[in-house]
Amino acid sequence: MTKLDGNVLAGRLTDALGWDATAADARCATCGAHGAIAVAVVYLTAMGAVARCPHCDSVLATFVESDGGRVWFGMPGISALEVTH
Amino acid sequence: MSDAGTVASARVRKHPPAAWHVATVADSRPETPTARRIELDVPTWPGNDAGSHLDVRLTAPDGYQATRSYSIASAGAGTRVVLAVDELPDGEVSPFLVHDLQPGDKLELHGPLGAFFVWTPPDVDEAPRPVQLIAGGSGVVPLYAMAAAHAAAGDATEFRLLYSVRTPEDVFFRDELAALAAAQPSLQLDFVYTRRVPDGWSAPAGRVTKDVLDAATVAAASRPLVYVCGPTPFVEAVAGWLIDAGHRPGDVRTERFGGS
């Protein structure tokens, strides 16, 4: 398991959301801390990626990669995400 | 347009749009004893900001796919994209890129990626800020792109690169960095050799420490933007020392890499 940061999610987020959210501010649903997705702690495995809050270690988002380009994307620990038009 | 709209549009930078592309390998040659510089022709490439990365996706005959992120050493408009890939012997993708990839081969890639760890020249109505780049090993790749973009923009803002590297032979973009620093008085290079120093070097081999950082980086009082890229332990140690030295957390941008 490789410990990285949210920068590595740029491609996955672009595929999932249609835009690169790595510089967007996200709020942790568990502890209320907020910051750019890029500073989240990200663990990569063969199954996908898990992003955790750098303050309280709660799971912010998960990407589970399946065959044929299917991805299960969840944001169980993000209570708000900054979206700029 | 309202005043509020003007303010917002000045703050939000537009980045070239990311998409999936097919690249053709134009050139591949040794960069260091363990790394290769790979130049790609990507006819559909929209250009990229300095510091951005791309994802390379390899597909095996049985359909198994592996995707890894690599920083881009080039920046600006143009469809030639330059990577410098260090081989991780246990890696799944980098040994293929370093040993097997040949000119003419095709690669599937997604990019340009990254809205956070990028540097763009200041707008005309924006006060320029000094920039401190801090690289550990192959983490220099996106920082080299920033230094080159700074030179290409004719930007006179103070730019400083602190580069921690094992030996003189392991320096990425050695000639290019020397040429940039020679042509650009506002760019200063500082090397820290962790295993073996060049002949005549005054300091012994050793890692970056808090004291090295204090001596060889732009002081926090100058409010520099700081970009740190390297292996996870390097980035975490350096970022902690920067905050201790008085840099504001929002001014320190980090990018970690490892195991690919």
Tell me if B19-113 shares its fold with B131-257. no
Contacts of residue B63 in chain A, CB cutoff 8 Å? 67-68
Tokens 């890129």 correspond to what residue? B97
Query: Which of B113, B232, B252 is most worth mutating to test chain A (most A CB atoms within 10 A of its CB)?
Result: B113
Q: What is the 3-state secondary structure (H, E, C) of chain A?
A: CEEEEHHHHHHHHHHHHCCCCCCCEEEECCCCCEEEHHHCEEEEECCEEEEECCCCCCEEEEEEECHHHCEEEECCCEEEECCCC
Q: How high is the pLDDT of residue B175?
A: 97
Interval A59-78: pLDDT, tens: 999 999 887 778 999 999 99
Q: Domain limits of chain B? A: 19-113, 131-257
Q: How high is the pLDDT of residue B260?
A: 52
Tell if the CB–CB gap between B55 and A11 is shorter than 8 Å.
Answer: yes
d(CA A57, CA A38) in angstroms, rounded, equals: 15
Contacts of residue A4 in chain B, CB cutoff 8 Å? 232, 256-258
A13-34 residues labelled b (16+ CB within 10 A) or e (exposed): bbbbeeebbbbbebbbbbeeeb
Query: Which of B69, B92, B143, B234 is most worth mutating to test chain A (most A CB atoms within 10 A of its CB)?
Result: B69
Tally of CA atoms within 13 A in the half-sphere of A40 that contains its CB: 34
Window 39-78 of B: residues touching A by CB (8 A cutoff) are 53-55, 63, 65, 67, 69
The CATH T-level fold of domain B131-257 is Rossmann fold (3.40.50)
Q: How far is B53 from chain A (nearest CA, A)?
A: 9
**Mean pLDDT computed over A6-23:** 95
Q: How far is B114 from chain A (nearest CA, A)?
A: 6
CATH class for domain B19-113? mainly beta
Tell if the CB–CB gap between A10 and B256 is shorter than 8 Å.
Answer: no
Q: What is this model's ipTM?
A: 0.93
**Mean pLDDT computed over A23-29:** 97
DSSP type of residue B119: B
Say if residues B260 and B93 touch (Cβ distance below 8 Å). yes
CB-based contact (8 Å) between B253 and chain A?
yes
- All residue ranges of chain B with pLDDT < 50 are 1-11
- Cis status, amide bond into B112, omega within 30 of 0: yes
Q: Domain limits of chain A? A: 2-81
Q: How high is the pLDDT of residue B12?
A: 54
Tell if the CB–CB gap between B254 and A39 is shorter than 8 Å.
Answer: yes
